[in-house]
Amino acid sequence: MEILLITSRGSGRWIIPKGKPIPDLAPHEAAGREAYEEAGLLGRVAPTSLGRFAYIKDQAQSRERFIPAVEVFPMEVTGQLTLWPEMGQRRVLWFDPEDAIAHIELEPLREIVRRFVIHISEH
């Protein structure tokens, strides 16, 4: 198993593809759309969330801070495109599970990924 991480455009930290809710799409469908836009991923997103986390996000243009809540969905990736909408805006790398966990700075996200890896390895 490998885990894909991308870098945040603002801070450069390693995160998962994520975004805002999209009208007319279920949360897991919106997650799939974001994975496509940010990393060129194709596949099936499970409708059951792995968990939620919040973090402080700085708005560079307005110098304001806000705290978005992110719901995390697992995705079985069947392919990765060679071109995608946000290509070149961030780094995109596949990691083995231990390296992925080590690269994630946000503790709540790191814990969600850690629990997922344990769950997968037990089944």
> pLDDT by residue (tens digit) across 65-121?
767 789 999 999 999 999 999 999 999 999 999 999 999 999 999 999 999 999 999
pLDDT for the residue 9:
87
Place 62 in a pLDDT band, splitting at 50, 70 and 90.
low
In the chain, what are the domains?
Answer: 3-122 (3.90.79.10)
Place 123 in a pLDDT band, splitting at 50, 70 and 90.
confident
Task: Tell me the chain's radius of gyration from C-alpha atoms.
Answer: 14
Report the distance separating Cα 58 and Cα 31, nearest Å.
22
pLDDT for the residue 10:
81
pLDDT for the residue 59:
63
pTM reported for the whole predicted model: 0.88
CA 100, 66, 86, 31 torsion-angle sign? positive
Question: CB burial class (10 A; 0-12, 13-18, 19+) of residue 3?
Answer: buried
* 70: enclosing H helix or E strand: strand 69-72
Report the distance separating Cα 2 and Cα 76, nearest Å.
10
Average pLDDT, whole number, for the chain?
92
Contact 9, 89 (CB under 8 A): yes
